[in-house]
């Protein structure tokens, strides 16, 4: 075959394709490099004989249209997901979903705002004043507050400012590892502080702390083991137990609570809260903003005014400070009287939840099974949130995860379970459409699948979640 008869010569040139009006519009949306890559991919397919030269233009236009549609459905490169796992604070899904008030605050804060400006005087002001005031109102036992970018940063700042080059006295039973292999001992030692471990894995007494305190002691540290429980022959030195010792020896007592409750919640009687911990004698309390508080990612430091001031003026404070978006969302979360989606999911009305579950099950011809949800995010381990789930064939799970909207079910004991606890009632119609599509993709109707109805036990929480 002569080169003049080579069909590859009919492949449209790059400049011709990029000049197409639709592709010029796509370049404005996706970026010129992204569109150029689509063009090169289609041309390469044609050169390899997998695409007719005359079909290249249509293939590029189709790819560009699909790319723009995907971008529109994935703001910021993230795909919105309906959380059907029953895990309320789901780390893999971004932990706490924000309230409408917090979401609106983010939009406002996206522009120019008075984050460090006093509009009355025109001079520079303190950063995060509104967030700190809202925290102090929500936690009356705190004399002062500071907001940093996450809980780990709060612990990093506290141990650096109070114990760098010195010792942190902590129980062996509280040196925990959390999600993705992250170990708190490694974080603390990275500050230059030295761990002074006391007690044993299951029993630690006040006398163990007393024996360890010396001239090199920077602080006493209590860490709430939020993602596991130790039962049986155990003993713990509580904050109230350690308060007299800390006062006598003149060392600060820090409590890292983790999950972010500011006040007690009757639903979670064993979950520590900041107000109670400070009242019991903690000098400084550390918590997360994006767990049980239901706000944005943030590290909350509450306690003695002199300690908070010391932390706020440490050089590291600048490196871990919260940005304007987190401060705005946190303030809105704390001042919104409507309650956060996290609170609403935890305290969902059982009858309403059951009726919604039964309605979905009836619409798709599937059984309803008992199902225990979970707090998640390391909060209240072992505490079941009694409820129900719609049971689907396991083959429906992949189709649900890639549906529009994407739905993350719980896959457990060979069953695909849809728990509506964390799904707003306003999304029930969207959920139904996704479930119907996934059931069809699974290859057989649920009602004809011959599935035995089994109650999901209260053991693991599904998809990997820290």
pLDDT band at 458 (very low <50, low <70, confident <90, very high): very low
pLDDT score, position 78: 87
Same domain? 359 vs 277? no
pLDDT score, position 227: 66
pLDDT score, position 157: 97
Same domain? 315 vs 392? no
* Distance separating the N- and C-terminal Cα atoms of the chain: 62
Tell the residue number behind the tokens 């890559």, with chain if given.
37
465 has pLDDT over 70: no
Same domain? 401 vs 439? yes
User: 211-233: buried (b, 16+ CB within 10 Å) or exposed (e) per residue?
Assistant: ebbeeebbbbbbbbbbbeeeeee
184: nearest Cα among 125, 245, 225: 225
What the block records as the tokens of 119 is: 């509009």
Domain with residue 330: its CATH number is: 3.40.640.10
Residue 62's contacts (CB-CB under 8 Å, 6 or more residues apart) are: none
Distance (Å, whole) CA 252 – CA 245: 10
Distance (Å, whole) CA 246 – CA 227: 27
Same domain? 330 vs 350? no
Write the DSSP string, 280-349. Answer: HT-SEEEEESSSTT-SSS-EEEEE-HHHHHHHHTSTHHHHTB--HHHHHHHHHHHH-TT--HHHHHHT--
Distance (Å, whole) CA 208 – CA 275: 26
pLDDT score, position 180: 67
pLDDT score, position 263: 95
428: nearest Cα among 334, 364, 372, 346: 364
455 has pLDDT over 70: no
Distance (Å, whole) CA 286 – CA 162: 14
Same domain? 104 vs 201? yes
| Residue 377 vs residue 446, higher pLDDT | 377
448 has pLDDT over 60: no
pLDDT band at 382 (very low <50, low <70, confident <90, very high): confident
H helices of 110-146, where? 129-138
Q: What is the mean pLDDT of residues 201-205?
A: 92
Distance (Å, whole) CA 212 – CA 336: 45
28 has pLDDT over 60: yes
Same domain? 186 vs 226? yes
Task: Name which of 178-182, 257-261, 417-421 the model is least confident about.
Answer: 178-182
Domain boundary among 302, 336, 370: 336
pLDDT score, position 379: 80
Distance (Å, whole) CA 112 – CA 351: 45
Per the CB < 8 A criterion, the answer to whether 168 and 305 are in contact is no
416 has pLDDT over 50: yes
- Sheet of 167-171, strand order: 144-148, 299-303, 284-288, 253-258, 217-223, 167-171, 194-198
Sign of CA dihedral 46, 49, 55, 58: negative
Instruction: Calculate what percentage of the chain has a pLDDT beyond 90.
Output: 73
311 has pLDDT over 80: yes
Same domain? 230 vs 267? yes
| Residue 169 vs residue 176, higher pLDDT | 169
What is the pTM assigned to this prediction? Answer: 0.83
Residue 266's contacts (CB-CB under 8 Å, 6 or more residues apart) are: none
- Sheet of 385-392, strand order: 81-84, 406-412, 415-418, 385-392, 368-373
pLDDT score, position 350: 94
Q: What is the mean pLDDT of residues 295-312?
A: 98
Q: What is the mean pLDDT of residues 316-339?
A: 95
User: For the chain, how big is the Rg over CA atoms in Å?
Assistant: 27
Same domain? 122 vs 267? yes
Domain that holds residue 325: 99-336
Distance (Å, whole) CA 375 – CA 373: 7
79 has pLDDT over 50: yes
Task: Name which of 45-49, 168-172, 371-375, 454-458 the model is least confident about.
Answer: 454-458
Same domain? 61 vs 137? no
pLDDT band at 457 (very low <50, low <70, confident <90, very high): very low
pLDDT score, position 445: 57
Same domain? 195 vs 273? yes
Distance (Å, whole) CA 465 – CA 95: 10
459 has pLDDT over 60: no
Q: What is the mean pLDDT of residues 199-207?
A: 93
Q: Is 170 helix (H, G, I), strand (E, B) or coil?
A: strand
86: nearest Cα among 442, 297, 391: 391
| Residue 77 vs residue 433, higher pLDDT | 433
Structurally, how many domains does the chain consist of?
3
Q: Fill in the DSSP letter of residue 98.
A: P
Distance (Å, whole) CA 230 – CA 338: 36
Q: How many residues does the chain have?
A: 466
pLDDT band at 463 (very low <50, low <70, confident <90, very high): very low
Q: What is the mean pLDDT of residues 426-451?
A: 76
Task: Name which of 52-56, 114-118, 178-182, 214-218 the model is least confident about.
Answer: 178-182
Task: Name which of 18-22, 98-102, 181-185 the model is least confident about.
Answer: 181-185
Same domain? 321 vs 349? no
Q: ∠ at Cα 397 (392, 399), nearest 5°? A: 115
In a domain, 159, yes or no: yes
What the block records as the tokens of 298 is: 């943030």
Domain with residue 348: its CATH number is: 3.90.1150.110
Q: Is 145 helix (H, G, I), strand (E, B) or coil?
A: strand
- Neighbouring C-beta atoms of residue 165, cutoff 10 Å: 11
Same domain? 397 vs 249? no
pLDDT score, position 69: 77
- Neighbouring C-beta atoms of residue 456, cutoff 10 Å: 21
Q: What is the mean pLDDT of residues 256-263?
A: 90
């Amino acid at each position: 075959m002569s080169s003049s008869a080579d069909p590859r010569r009919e492949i449209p040139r790059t400049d011709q394709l990029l000049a197409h009006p639709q592709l010029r519009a796509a370049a404005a949306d996706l970026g010129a490099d992204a569109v150029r890559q689509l063009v090169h991919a289609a041309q390469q397919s044609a050169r390899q004989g997998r695409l007719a030269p005359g079909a290249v233009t249509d293939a590029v236009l189709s790819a560009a249209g699909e790319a723009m549609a995907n971008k529109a459905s994935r703001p910021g490169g993230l795909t919105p997901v309906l959380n059907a796992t029953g895990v309320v604070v789901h780390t893999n899904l971004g932990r706490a979903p924000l309230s409408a008030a917090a979401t609106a605050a983010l939009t406002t804060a996206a522009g120019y705002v008075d984050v460090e400006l006093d509009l009355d005087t025109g001079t520079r002001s303190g950063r995060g004043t509104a967030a700190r005031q809202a925290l102090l109102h929500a936690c009356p036992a705190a004399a002062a507050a500071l907001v940093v970018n996450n809980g780990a940063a709060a612990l990093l700042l506290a141990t650096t400012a109070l114990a760098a080059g010195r010792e942190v006295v902590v129980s062996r039973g509280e040196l925990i590892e959390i999600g993705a292999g992250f170990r708190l001992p490694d974080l603390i030692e990275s500050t230059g502080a030295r761990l002074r471990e006391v007690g044993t894995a299951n029993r630690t007494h006040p006398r163990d702390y007393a024996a360890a305190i010396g001239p090199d002691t920077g602080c006493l540290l209590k860490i709430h083991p939020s993602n596991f429980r130790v039962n049986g022959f155990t003993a713990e030195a509580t904050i109230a137990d350690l308060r007299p010792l800390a006062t006598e020896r003149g060392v600060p007592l820090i409590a890292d609570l983790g999950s972010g409750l500011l006040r007690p919640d009757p639903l979670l009687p064993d979950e520590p809260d900041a107000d109670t911990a400070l009242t019991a004698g903690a000098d400084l309390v550390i918590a997360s903003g994006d767990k049980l508080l239901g706000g944005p990612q943030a590290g909350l430091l509450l306690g003695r005014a002199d300690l908070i001031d010391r932390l706020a003026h440490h050089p590291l404070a600048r490196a871990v400070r919260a940005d304007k978006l987190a401060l705005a969302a946190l303030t809105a979360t704390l001042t919104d009287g409507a309650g956060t989606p996290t609170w609403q999911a935890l305290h969902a009305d059982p009858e309403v939840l059951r009726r919604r579950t039964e309605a979905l099950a009836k619409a798709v011809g599937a059984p309803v099974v008992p199902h225990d949800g979970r707090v998640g995010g390391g909060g209240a381990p072992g505490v079941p949130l009694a409820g129900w789930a719609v049971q689907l064939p396991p083959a429906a799970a992949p189709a649900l995860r890639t549906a529009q909207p994407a739905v993350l079910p719980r896959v457990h004991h060979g069953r695909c379970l849809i728990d509506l606890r964390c799904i707003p009632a306003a999304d029930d119609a969207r959920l139904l459409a996704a479930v119907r599509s996934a059931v069809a993709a699974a290859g057989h109707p649920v009602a004809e699948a011959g599935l035995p109805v089994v109650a999901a036990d209260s053991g693991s929480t599904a998809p990997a979640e820290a």
